[in-house]
């Protein structure tokens, strides 16, 4: 047992920070289906290991299901446990469904006189967002007004917009239209037409415009059962596009993020955008 624990600690220490950070995901039981009276079950969680619920359940308050004709479908039989949430999706229409958990909120970081004093005495212990500074997550405008001390210094308020999604197709695939808000994936290759050994192309857009120079991280699931993350890195071009050749079949987690100064909340000075998708790659 001690040897196993030590080995796990050494492996974790050797991994990049992104590999051990918590990852949000939606995991459908199937991504390509056919027939009548078809349902798909979706797991939703935030975990350390991909597609293995080991941290906390994802809340379902902001889950949206866009049907092929553009109408909105409500999740069926939703339930939230300790480590994961789950819901069902009835697929009555032919075409592609876009299932997403969309979040938007404010966060704030600031220094206090105590943290600044600590920074002067021990530079490594203080500074913006240091252990003795202040931090608010998922804040409302009222929180900013009442929970930030009057003597706060170096205050930075960030508006966050995040999208976690997956795609399911019943029968023939249909087009996936751009939403035009926040950071999003616009398929060139259809997200339910991915095969091992083949190249796929996607575009990342911010508010409907190409997002160039963004780093994309792609990790195959089942990280619990291997020592290396085997992540794939790509960078978007001037038109927001990037390509990936899938090394093998499986479920893949795709993530990208960016920060800009286009926050819509009047209190915020910057905006952080994040995007996550679960994509299934099928064998040849």
Task: Report the chain's terminal Cα–Cα distance, integer Å.
Answer: 40
For 108-148, the pLDDT digits (tens) are 999 988 888 877 776 554 444 444 578 888 888 888 889 98
Same domain, residue pair 228 and 218? yes
Q: Is residue 10 part of a domain?
A: no
Q: Is residue 9 part of a domain?
A: no
Q: Is residue 4 part of a domain?
A: no
- Distance, in Å, from the CA atom of 258 to the CA atom of 23, rounded to the nearest integer, reads 16
| End-of-domain residue from the set 159, 178, 198 | 159
Same domain, residue pair 138 and 250? no
Q: Determine contact, residues 143/5, Cβ cutoff 8 Å.
A: no
Same domain, residue pair 122 and 211? no
DSSP single-letter state for residue 49:
B
Q: Is residue 35 part of a domain?
A: yes
Same domain, residue pair 96 and 126? no
Task: Give the per-residue pLDDT at 150.
Answer: 87
Same domain, residue pair 80 and 166? yes
For 43-98, the pLDDT digits (tens) are 999 999 999 999 999 999 999 999 999 999 999 999 999 999 999 999 999 999 99
- Distance, in Å, from the CA atom of 110 to the CA atom of 226, rounded to the nearest integer, reads 40
Same domain, residue pair 193 and 60? yes
- Residue 267: pLDDT band by 50, 70, 90 thresholds? confident
Task: Give the per-residue pLDDT at 124.
Answer: 53
Q: Is residue 40 part of a domain?
A: yes
Among the ranges given (169-173, 197-201, 262-266), the one the predictor scored with the smallest mean pLDDT? 262-266
Task: Give the per-residue pLDDT at 123.
Answer: 58
Q: Is residue 237 part of a domain?
A: yes
Same domain, residue pair 189 and 74? yes
Same domain, residue pair 82 and 196? yes
Compare 179 and 7 and report the one with higher pLDDT.
179
Same domain, residue pair 94 and 113? no
Same domain, residue pair 185 and 232? yes
Same domain, residue pair 55 and 188? yes
- Residue 173: pLDDT band by 50, 70, 90 thresholds? very high
Domain that holds residue 40: 15-104+160-281
In the chain, the number of structural domains is 2
Task: Give the per-residue pLDDT at 132.
Answer: 59
Is the pLDDT at 179 greater than 70? The verdict is: yes
Q: Determine contact, residues 239/203, Cβ cutoff 8 Å.
A: yes
What percentage of the chain exceeds 70 in pLDDT?
A: 89
Same domain, residue pair 172 and 117? no
Q: Is residue 133 part of a domain?
A: yes
Q: Three-class SS of residue 18?
A: helix
Q: Tokens at residue 265, please?
A: 């909340």
The pLDDT mean for the chain works out to 89
Per-residue pLDDT, averaged over 222-248, amounts to: 96
Q: Looking at the chain, how many residues does it have?
A: 284
Q: Determine contact, residues 57/81, Cβ cutoff 8 Å.
A: yes
Task: Give the per-residue pLDDT at 166.
Answer: 98
Per-residue pLDDT, averaged over 174-180, amounts to: 94
Q: What is the CATH number of the domain that holds 178?
A: 2.60.40.10
């Amino acid at each position: 047992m001690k040897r196993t624990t030590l080995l796990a600690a050494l492996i974790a220490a050797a991994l990049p920070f992104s590999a051990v950070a918590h990852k949000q995901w939606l995991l459908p039981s199937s991504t390509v289906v056919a027939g009548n009276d078809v349902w798909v079950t979706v797991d939703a969680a935030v975990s350390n290991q991909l597609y293995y619920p080991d941290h906390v359940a994802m809340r379902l308050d902001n889950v949206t299901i866009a049907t092929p004709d553009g109408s909105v479908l409500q999740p069926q039989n939703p339930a939230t446990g300790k480590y994961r949430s789950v819901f069902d999706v009835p697929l009555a229409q032919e075409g592609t469904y876009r299932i997403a958990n969309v979040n938007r909120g404010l966060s704030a970081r600031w220094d206090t006189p105590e943290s600044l004093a600590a920074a002067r005495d021990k530079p490594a212990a203080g500074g913006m967002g240091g252990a003795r500074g202040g931090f608010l997550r998922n804040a409302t405008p009222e929180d900013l007004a009442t929970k930030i001390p009057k003597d706060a210094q170096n205050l930075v308020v960030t508006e966050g917009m995040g999208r976690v999604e997956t795609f399911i197709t019943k029968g023939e695939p249909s087009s996936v239209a751009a939403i035009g808000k926040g950071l999003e994936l616009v398929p060139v290759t259809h997200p339910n037409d991915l095969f091992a050994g083949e190249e796929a192309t996607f575009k990342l857009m911010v508010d409907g415009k190409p997002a160039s120079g963004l780093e994309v991280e792609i990790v195959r699931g089942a990280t619990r059962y291997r020592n290396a993350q085997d992540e794939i890195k790509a960078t978007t071009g001037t038109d927001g596009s990037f390509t990936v050749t899938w090394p093998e079949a499986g479920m893949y987690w795709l993530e990208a993020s960016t920060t800009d100064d286009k926050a819509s909340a009047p209190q915020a000075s910057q905006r952080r955008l994040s995007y996550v998708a679960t994509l299934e790659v099928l064998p040849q």
